[in-house]
Amino acid sequence: MLAVHVAIQVKPECVEPFIEATRMNAENSLKEAGIARFDFVQQQDDPTRFMLVEIYRDEEAALRHKETAHYARWRDTVADMMAVPRSSIKYTTLYPDEAEWRCS
């Protein structure tokens, strides 16, 4: 499985619209068969900083996610809200393994 951590910093005046747009993206992302988990968190000491923690069943699921209408809508909606370009780091999940994700 593939874990992707996406670090995002938005302009202070864009925090609330960013949260709204990203919640909609997260809700729709969780409906995708290839996504096991999609967390959206806000940094406690700096409310302009966010992290998306996306867990995909495989690399192909991550590619398919980028082709969805809801992802394109989110990407285009939040583009001008960014204080700096977003960054991501990809990880290979070690625990739990895929079989354990399916049971939960």
Predicted local confidence at residue 101, as pLDDT: 57
Residues 6+ positions from 70 with CB-CB distance below 8 Å:
24, 25, 28, 29
Peptide bond into 85 cis (omega under 30): no
Q: What is the per-residue pLDDT across 60-77, written as a single tens digit (0 to 9) for each?
A: 999 999 999 999 999 999
Q: What is the per-residue pLDDT across 78-91, written as a single tens digit (0 to 9) for each?
A: 999 999 999 999 99
What domains appear along the chain, each with residue ranges and CATH number? 2-96 (3.30.70.100)
* Bridge partner list, 7: 51, 87
DSSP character at residue 81: G
In the block, residue with structure tokens 């895929």: 98
**Closest residue by Cα to residue 17 from 25, 5, 6:** 25
Kindly report the CA angle at 11 between 64 and 86, in degrees rounded to 5?
35
